[in-house]
Amino acid sequence: MPLYNYLCSDCGPFDAWRAMAEAAHDCACPSCLKPGRRVVSTPHINSMNASLRRALARSEQSSSEPRIVKKAHLAGCGCALCKTGNRRPSVRHRWMIGH
């Protein structure tokens, strides 16, 4: 359920959790119980943690247009992804080869 902002003519603004189907209807003010009309407001993005905001932006960007990885990138550039494919067998386990 989303949190909507409403405005009471006597008491002022208040917030209420409402179902989306009930969002267009007036909501009773918690102080005076008079109906308050819904007001449109912006989301509180600035109060979000900066690293979380960057992660959400990166996730949203990659969902509609994923980045393409080319084979030239994987040809030994030195990143962690390339290092996983070029591993040599460990010296410690050489004795296991013939067993």
| Domain locations in the chain as residue ranges | 3-39
pLDDT in tens, 41-81: 776 556 678 888 888 887 777 666 666 655 565 555 666 66
How many CB atoms neighbour CB 15 within 10 A? Answer: 12
Distance CA 7, CA 27 (A): 9
Strand segments, DSSP code E, in 18-99 are 27-28, 35-39
pLDDT of residue 51: 85
> DSSP character for 66?
P
What is the pTM (predicted TM-score) of this model? 0.43
pLDDT in tens, 75-97: 556 666 666 555 566 666 666 65
